[in-house]
Amino acid sequence: MKKQLLYRLSLAVMVSASLFSCRKDPQPAPEQVEILEPTPSGPVKGLYLLNEGNMNMNKASLDYLDLATGVYRRNIYNQANPEIVKGLGDVGNDIGVYGSKVYVVVNLSNKIEVLNAKTGKKLGQIPLANSRYITFYKGKAYASAYLGTLGDPTAGNGVVIEIDTATLTEKRRVQVGRQPEELAVVRGKLFVANSGGYSSKNYERTVSVIDLNSFQVTNKIDVAINLHRLKADQYGDLYVSSRGDYFDIPSKLFVIDTQTEKVKKSFDIGVSEIVIDGDLAYYYSTEYSKITGDNTITYGMINVKTEIPLTKSFITDGTNEKITVPYGIAVNPITKDVFVTDAKDYVSPGTLYCFNPAGIKKFQVTTGDIPAHFAFVY
Amino acid sequence: MGNPHNKMTKRKFAFDGICNSFFGFSAIVWLGVFVPYNSSAQTDSVKKANELKEVSIRAIKLSKRQLSASPLQILSGKDLERLNSLSVADAIRFFSGVQLKDYGGIGGLKTINVRSMGTNHTAVFYDGVQLGNAQNGQVDLGKFSLDNIEEIELYNGQKSTIFQSARGFASGSSLYLNAKQPEFENGQTDHVKASVKGGSFGLINPSVLWQHKVSDAISASLSTEYKNANGRYKFRYTNGVYDSTFVRKNADIETMRLEAGLNGKLQDSSVWAAKVYYYKDHQGLPGAIVSNRYDFTQRLWNENFFVQSSYKKEAGRYNLMASAKYASDYVRYLDPDFVKDDGFLDNRFKQRELYLSLTNRYKINSFWDVVLSSDYQYNTLDANLDYFAYPARNTFLTALATQIHFERIDVQANLLSTYVNDKVKQFFSAGNKNELTPTVMVSWQPFDNLKEFRVRSFYKSIFRMPTFNDLYYTSIGNTLLKPEYTKQYDLGLTYIRAFKGHKLQQISIQTDAYYNKVRNKIVAVPSANLFRWSMQNLGRVEIKGLDVNVQTVWNIVTDLSLTTGLTYTYQQALNVTDKNLNYRNQIVYTPVNSGSFILGADWKNLAMNYSYIYVGQRFNQGANNVYNYVPAWYTHDIAFHYTKVLKHDRFRISAEVNNFLNQYYDVIANFPMPGRSYRFTIAYSY
């Protein structure tokens, strides 16, 4: 009797054990393809879109739009690089194409991934803790990071590192202000916007100027608190956004003359993101009101030659009403089509919209989570 | 960029190929329940043995499990002791309709979500008084050791009695943790229980419980526990191409608990109790395992203190219950990766709570009672955050309840009034809120001669207040928030049957179908950028579910008895917030199918427990797509216990193997759960 019971119990255990093999074998996340309207753009072959993915979800992902064929490939990284442990990583913060390589800055994965721009295959990576943004100049990449050293209570400043794009290694680093954000090279000088975002009672207010020969900070331009965006126009000016303090001080936009290294103009315009193409700057702003509990979203343009805001927007067909949170923008340098992304609730797949120069929607497509950063491939 | 068209064929993944091992699960379960039964070609000797027990079996007693008008699940006494559980969180995984949100490891946050309404809709009561957390409304059940817990009860809706504090009426569901009450037999004046647990994760966990009979009317108890673990365990991630095993780091924890209580009886047979509780811990906070990031530096400290006392008089027509509590909670969070201008991010939060409750019952006649309960609660939160509002909240709860009870029908109804007033030292306050919410519950025996079969049903409308974090957390909180409302409709039945002279001695079934609606769900939504989320009343969820619970008791041969417990949960929990976003998608982390099975066996000095948990496939974000798909997981645990009794001394040795098939899985994405682990216990009691 007892034996029979034991036999049956062990049978039950064995049957349960066989369940183990019942879980489907894991596979690399698939790529998905959609066919959109082609936009042949001469030398510009395509467009990478980096989806940030929500923090802790490890869902940074890369989409690619082939402009000539209109083929949109969602989530190309995992199929191209199935051997990379846990994939692209957590919170993709910036992307840039330089030469034949794509550089993807993955903030919480503490790295800059370097991929072959044609195939998406990984070529290498540069470790950089709390990395933020990247720019390129004369065979070098420059990247900002929120903190130079981790685990030191007195080391609150960020750094900019110089990367050799041939060897993919860090060559030099320089300490800048607290929590540096975007950066750009103008007149052979590197400018980086400091935010001080970790100390809401004591934001930074400066743009650091770095001499590229000595790789030393030569000046700090006082602008406004909590700086973020920093984009260069073709006239030697920088457009720098201040995020404000989210309470009393609103977001604003400033223009810096890189010759004098001084603020020469400011706009009472809130700016979440801005891109400059030729004589036009395209921006949008999302501002939250504590009083109404609502977001106010505006889309606008500025003529950077005359430094006068335009009265028209780059979305004219009412599509803006459908966008919950604009979170990324790019302008096709050839066709002047404008790409805008919607991050929705930040935990769902977003949408990429494409507008023609008249502001009429050409197409839209579903992206990864938090579509945010663009890079054109030539 | 390669040829995109080749890749198109790979799009179909996961969904069509998922092997639904739920069927496999049901198979073992039914095997477990029925194999012994079918095999019982009875021999004479067995019959005789059973005849001896018949007397006690024939007069089956309906327990509160059957009589409760609201669905009730219990784990207690021997069943709880046999189970492979270190904390309350481990045990409640065996309840139906429950999801445990578990961040993994000994120190990982573990909270309960009942019937998909959300963590904040379950109130947790410790010895009858609610464990509050005005800051985030969540109670970490991993922090409550099972060491001195005698019984865990989970009620959907509310406890099936109207003689309870107003707080008891005020949640969508209620979890009761009841500590061991001292009981002394003739001549005994002291009980001592000492135990040491140890095993995987570098666990060392000694505890002592001492109960003392002060006089015939008063007893005292003292319980203390220390726990230390390095928290390390192996975990594995694979996508079929890469396959990497890591060790969980920064998961160490050290905790200390000290609890003292007095229980007394007065001459009019009213009872009183008083309790002091102190808990302290210090732990590492292992973060999400994401690409290129496997170690962490964040630290967390907790300190909880409360003192509570209660008085209950149940004799006569007029009954009274009163309780009072003062609680103080301290949390410190340190993040060395976040360096501000004045050093590391080092947040400190201090909460205080004062709670007073008075419940009056008047028995109008033999079948009709009325109750008036009033509670007052005062909460404050201090934090060293910039731009912090320093909120304080006054809550007044009043419940008017009535119960009509006959042998075959029991009807309970109540109306709860909630008045909440928030005050802040600076910035905006959420002001006043006033809500009136009803509950109706019925338990009915439809057939005159079938006492074992009962039908039950309840309707409950309740809400949860926005927490201090929802309202006032710097740069996230939104003082315009409204409460989050839920409506629950439940219809169920219970059946129990005892068998004379069979190996299967008793079978008991409880099953409920339910429909819940959550409205004004408080969710974090983006505002200006990723640093700037804000809390909004956005979500709407519709939940349709089925809970099944089956318990059996067996007597195989004279000394060998078996008990089984089976649960199954079906849940369709759909997001119906916005037609344009994830509309009618299953909400995050909610499996459609889940279940558990427990088999306990006692043979002479030996006891064994086998337990199985199955959680079906689910999604780790709102969109039900391939990138958010999370496969099912299922674990098998086994435990063996040996008990030796020498006069009054009782020794017990236990060995447990948890997740013995070593399945690696995440409950929360990127927070890996341990694979196979071991635990050993030596206990002595007198």
| Contacts of residue B606, Cβ cutoff 8 Å, sequence gap at least 6 | B640, B641, B642, B643
| Residue B474: closest CA among B534, B537, B392, B536 | B534
- For A187, left (φ over 0), alpha (ψ -120 to 50), or beta? left
pLDDT, tens only, B108-130 = 999 999 999 999 999 999 999 99
Mean pLDDT on A178-207: 96
Tell me how far apart the terminal alpha carbons of chain B are, to the nearest angstrom. 74
Segment A90-130, tens digit of pLDDT = 999 999 999 999 999 999 999 999 999 999 999 999 999 99
For residue A293, what pLDDT is reported? 65
Tokens 């309207």 identify what position?
Answer: A37
B559 interfacial to chain A (CB closer than 8 Å): no
Distances, alpha carbon B16 to alpha carbons B11, B12, B626, B685, in Å:
11, 8, 11, 55
The nearest alpha carbon in chain A to B475 belongs to A246
- For B293, the closest of A87, A110, A151 (CB atoms) is A110
pLDDT of residue B362: 97
- The span from the CA of A10 to the CA of A24, in Å, is 25
Q: How far apart are CA B680 and CA B639, in angstroms?
A: 9
Whether the pLDDT of residue B13 is over 50: the answer is no
The DSSP string of B216-252 is SSEEEEEEEEEEEE----EEEEE-SS-EEEEE--S--
Q: Who contacts A30 (Cβ-Cβ below 8 Å, separation ≥6)?
A: A75, A78, A79, B7, B10, B11, B13, B626
| B620-663 residue pLDDT tens | 999 999 999 999 999 999 999 999 999 889 999 999 999 999 99
Q: For A321-325, B212-216, B274-278, B534-538, which range has the lowest pLDDT when averaged over its residues?
A: B534-538
Q: Give the pLDDT of residue A294.
A: 73
Enumerate residues 522 to 551 of chain B having a beta carbon within 8 A of any beta carbon in chain A: 523, 525-534, 536
The CA distance from B89 to the nearest CA of chain A, in Å, is: 23
Query: Cβ(B501)–Cβ(B47) under 8 Å?
Result: yes
Contact A12 B556 (CB under 8 A): no
Chain A positions in Cβ-Cβ contact with residue B287 (cut-off 8 Å): 56
- Collect all residues with Cβ–Cβ distance below 8 Å to A311 and sequence separation of at least 6: none
CA distances for A75 relative to A51, A71, A367, B352, B642, angstroms: 9, 13, 8, 48, 55
Q: State how far the alpha carbon of B379 is from the alpha carbons of A31, B349, B468, B651, in Å.
A: 51, 13, 10, 45
pLDDT tens, B290-301?
A: 999 999 999 999
Residue B35 has pLDDT above 80, yes or no: no
Q: Which of A59, A109, A151 sits opposite B336 (nearest CB)?
A: A151
What are B652-661's pLDDT values in tens digits? 999 999 999 9
A253 secondary structure, DSSP code: E
Predicted pLDDT of residue A126: 98
% of chain B at pLDDT higher than 90: 76
Binary contact (A28, B240; C-beta < 8 A): yes
pLDDT at A207 over 90: yes
HEC readout, B603-666 = ECCEEEEEEEEEECCEECCCCCCHHHEECCEEEEEEEEEEEEEECCEEEEEEEEEECCCCCCCE
Contact between chains at A15 and B536 (C-beta distance less than 8 A): no
pTM: 0.90
Residues of A in contact with B480 (CB under 8 A): 293
Arithmetic mean of pLDDT, B668-686? 95
> Does an H or E element contain B485, and which?
strand B484-498
pLDDT band at A137 (very low <50, low <70, confident <90, very high): very high
> With an 8 Å Cβ cutoff, are A13 and B531 in contact?
no
Q: What is the distance in angstroms between the Cα of B493 and the nearest Cα belonging to chain A?
A: 29
| Shortest CA distance from A27: residue in chain B | B239
Q: CB under 8 Å to B117, separation ≥6 — which residues?
A: B172, B173, B486, B488, B516, B518, B541, B543
Q: Are the beta carbons of B39 and A4 separated by less than 8 Å?
A: yes
**How many Cβ atoms are within 10 Å of A40's Cβ, its own excluded?**
12
Q: Given A82, A251, A348, which is nearest B622 (Cβ)?
A: A348
pLDDT bin (cut points 50, 70, 90) of residue A308 is very high
What 8-state DSSP symbol labels residue A159? E
Query: Considering chain B, what is the average pLDDT of its residues?
Result: 88
Residue B349 confidence (pLDDT) above 50: yes
Q: Return the sign of the alpha-carbon dihedral for residues B115, B120, B122, B124.
A: positive
B628: tokens are 């958010």
How far is A137 from B36, CA to CA, in rounded Å?
77
Å from A207 to nearest chain B CA?
Answer: 18
From chain A, the residues in CB contact with B21 under 8 A are 19, 22-23
> What is the predicted pLDDT for the residue at B175?
97
Pairing of strands B271-284, B593-603: unpaired
Asked if B41 reaches chain A (Cβ–Cβ under 8 Å), the answer is no
| Phi, psi values for residue B401, rounded to 5° | -135, 155
Angle formed at CA A370 by CA B3 and CA A31, multiple of 5 degrees: 20
Of B609, B453, B593, B638, the closest CA to residue B96 belongs to B593
Query: If residue B36 lies in a helix (H) or strand (E), which one and from where to where?
Result: helix B21-38
| Tokens linked to B332 | 């410190």
Q: Which of residues 380-439 of B touch A (CB under 8 A)?
A: 386-387, 428
